[in-house]
Amino acid sequence: MVRKNCEVLNQYALGNRDFCQINLSRSTLQGADLSGSDLRRASLVGADLRNACLKETKLTGADLMGADLRGACLENADLGLADLTQSELQNANLKGANLTGAILTKANLTNATLTGAVMWRAMLMGAILKGANLHGAILIKAILLQANLNEANLSGANLAEARVMDAEMANTNFTETIMPDGKFYKLDREELWSKRSPKFFINCQPPFNPNISNIRQGVG
């Protein structure tokens, strides 16, 4: 596996960016620069990618179960349908990343940056998003059951039709957030939580059906 790691880095240095379907499971790529690479459907199970640069990398359908991505840069990366189950993403930069349909069950995203990220239909059951910055993120139809959103910044985010039952949300910022019922709130978090009820976050039927062309703007 060490040899394969070296081969990938050498090929990257020579200008090759096509690593589609490569098997790098359990590999050590700590601090590696693979920005702009094509890693679609690659196997990176349990890989050590701490502080790696994966900016604008194509990781569509990649298997990153249990991968260590702490401090990694995944800005504008395409992680659509990727499996990030139980991955470590503390302090990772996922600004503007596409996580449509991604599986992040029990992933640890503590203090991660997810500003402007598209997480439409993302699976975040039991995920830890404590202190994460999700300003302007798209979480339409995302599943956040039992997720930890304590101290997270969800200002300006779109949570239309999201499922967040039993999620922890102490000191979460919902300023100007589109809530699961489709309503646009300008309340600060103290006002919001004073009106919270169990029904507020479930059985949501927004009066609009967003499409991919306007999803980033949160327009219905």
Q: Are 190 and 169 in contact (CB under 8 A)?
A: no
The verdict on residue 215 lying in a domain is no
Print the domain residue range for 180. Answer: 1-208
Q: What is the pLDDT of residue 63?
A: 98
CA dist., res. 94 & res. 41, Å (int):
19
| Residue 60 belongs to domain with CATH number | 2.160.20.80
The sign of the torsion formed by the CA atoms of 99, 126, 70, 179 equals positive
The whole-chain average pLDDT of the chain stands at 87
**What is the domain count for the chain?**
1
- Please report which confidence band the pLDDT of residue 89 belongs to, taking 50, 70 and 90 as the band edges: very high
Mean pLDDT of 24-40: 97
Indicate the burial class of 196 (C-beta count within 10 angstroms; 0-12, 13-18, 19 or more): exposed
The per-residue b/e assignment along 96-110, b for 16 or more CB within 10 angstroms, e otherwise, is: bbbbbbbbbbbbbbb
Mean pLDDT of 140-161: 97
The answer to the question of residue 217 being in a domain is: no
Q: Is the pLDDT of residue 213 over 90?
A: no
Q: Is residue 218 part of a domain?
A: no
Helices (H) and strands (E) in the chain, counts: 2, 0
Residue 26 within a domain? yes
172 falls within a domain: yes
| Residue 214 included in any domain | no
